[in-house]
Amino acid sequence: MPELPDIVTYIDALRPRVLGQPLQRVRLASPFLLRTVDPPITAVESKPVEDIRRLGKRIVLCLPEELFLVIHLMIAGRLRWERRGAKPPGKIGLAAFDFPAGTLLMTEASPKKRASLHLVRGAAALAAHDPGGIEVLDAAEAEFRAALVRGNHTLKRALTDPRVFSGIGNAYSDEILHAARLSPVKQTGKLTDAEITRLYMATQETLRRWIGILHEQFRDHFPGPGEVTAFRDGFAVHGRYRQPCPDCGSPVQRIRYAENETNYCAVCQTTGRLLADRSLSRLLKDDWPRSLEELEQLKEARTVR
C-alpha cells in the first residue's frame, strides 16, 4: 500500500499538472470504484482543482462548493499521468480523470478491487474519512509519546494503526524500527523514555529522508506504477529477508502473518533473539531456534544429514 512518502510524492507530481485546472470529466471503468452516489460524480465536471491534500493514505482533490474527491489506493492501486483522453488500461483500469494537459489514470493490479473513490460535500463529510491518527511529521515529541502509549500494543501494530499515526504502513514501520533499534514486538507500555525519544527521532528522520529521496527521483517525471512500491533499493530491512543488514551484516529475518511480513535485524533490534514466525514456529515447536547461532547450527545439522 502506498504510504506517507509515496502519497506525498504523488501529490507533489500532481500539483504542477492539475492545480488550478478544470477537471473536465471523470470516466469510470469499474463499477466497484465509486462508493458514493450523492453528490453525483458529474458534479465535479468543469470545476477547477483548488487544492490537493493528503488524508492519511488518501489523496484528496479539493474543488469549489466544498466538493472533495477522496482517492484511496489501498494495496494495489496506482496512478498514471497519460496523454489527454487516454483510456484506462484493460482489466486493471479503474477510472480516468481528464484535465486540459492530460489524463490521470487510476489502476489496480488486484482482482479484489479494494481501491475506492468517494465524492463528498463539506468538511464534516471529509473528516469522516480521517481515521484520526496524528501527523507524525508535524507532531512534537510529547504528542507522539501520548499517542504511542495510549494503548499497550506491539510497536509494529502501534506504528501501522491509522487511528494512532497517520500514513505509516508495513514498509516504513520496518524501516523506522530498524533505525530506532527496537523490536517490532516490544510492547509500547514497556518502553523507556529514552526508547520513545529514539523512536520519535527515527520516525521523523526516516520519513523525511525518504520523502526527499523520492522527490529527487521523480523531479522530472510522474511516478509510474512500478515505481511506487513497498520494496525499494536503499531500504535497510523491509523486503530484504535473508539479505545482509546494512549496519551489521547479519541476515535480515522475518515474521509472516496473513498477507503481511515484518522484516527486522536480530542483531540490531532484538539482541540476537529470533522472533517466532507463526507458521514455522507451530511446525518446529520446541525445535524453533531462539538465536542466530541456533539457526546456523540448525542449518549445519540439516546440511550434514
Instruction: Report the amino acid identity of residue 46.
Output: S
Domain span at 158: 141-279
φ, ψ (nearest 5 deg) of residue 199: -65, -40
Residue with cell 483522453: 85
Residue 196 lies inside a defined structural domain of this protein: yes
Residue 167 lies inside a defined structural domain of this protein: yes
C-alpha cell, 182: 527496537
Do 273 and 145 belong to one domain?
Answer: yes
The domain tally of the chain equals 2
Do 82 and 190 belong to one domain?
Answer: no
Residue 292 lies inside a defined structural domain of this protein: no
Task: Tell whether omega for the bond before 131 is within 30 degrees of 0, i.e. cis.
Answer: no
105, 127, 149 - which closes a domain = 127
Do 87 and 164 belong to one domain?
Answer: no
The residues that bridge with 26 in the sheet, in sequence order, are 97
96, 127, 158 - which closes a domain = 127
Q: Which CATH number do you get for residue 259?
A: 1.10.8.50
Q: Model's pTM, two decimal places?
A: 0.90
* Residues 63, 101: Cα–Cα separation, whole Å: 18
Do 151 and 87 belong to one domain?
Answer: no
* Residues 299, 260: Cα–Cα separation, whole Å: 25
Do 38 and 71 belong to one domain?
Answer: yes
Do 146 and 265 belong to one domain?
Answer: yes
Indicate the length of the chain as a whole number. 305
Do 116 and 150 belong to one domain?
Answer: no
82, 97, 127 - which closes a domain = 127
pLDDT tens-digit profile, the chain (305 residues): 899 999 999 999 999 999 999 999 999 999 899 999 999 999 999 999 999 999 999 999 999 999 999 999 999 999 999 999 999 998 999 999 999 999 999 999 988 889 999 999 999 999 999 999 999 999 999 999 999 999 999 999 999 999 999 999 999 999 999 999 999 999 999 999 999 999 999 999 999 999 999 999 999 999 988 899 989 999 999 999 999 999 999 999 999 876 788 999 999 999 999 998 655 444 434 444 454 554 454 444 444 44
Residue 293 lies inside a defined structural domain of this protein: no
Instruction: Give the strand pairing for 51-55 and 25-28.
Output: unpaired
* Residues 11, 285: Cα–Cα separation, whole Å: 48
Do 148 and 90 belong to one domain?
Answer: no
Do 162 and 82 belong to one domain?
Answer: no
End-to-end CA distance of the chain: 42
Q: Where are the beta strands (DSSP E) in the chain?
A: 22-23, 25-28, 47-48, 51-55, 58-63, 67-72, 77-82, 93-99, 102-108, 116-121, 253-257, 260-264
Residue 175 lies inside a defined structural domain of this protein: yes
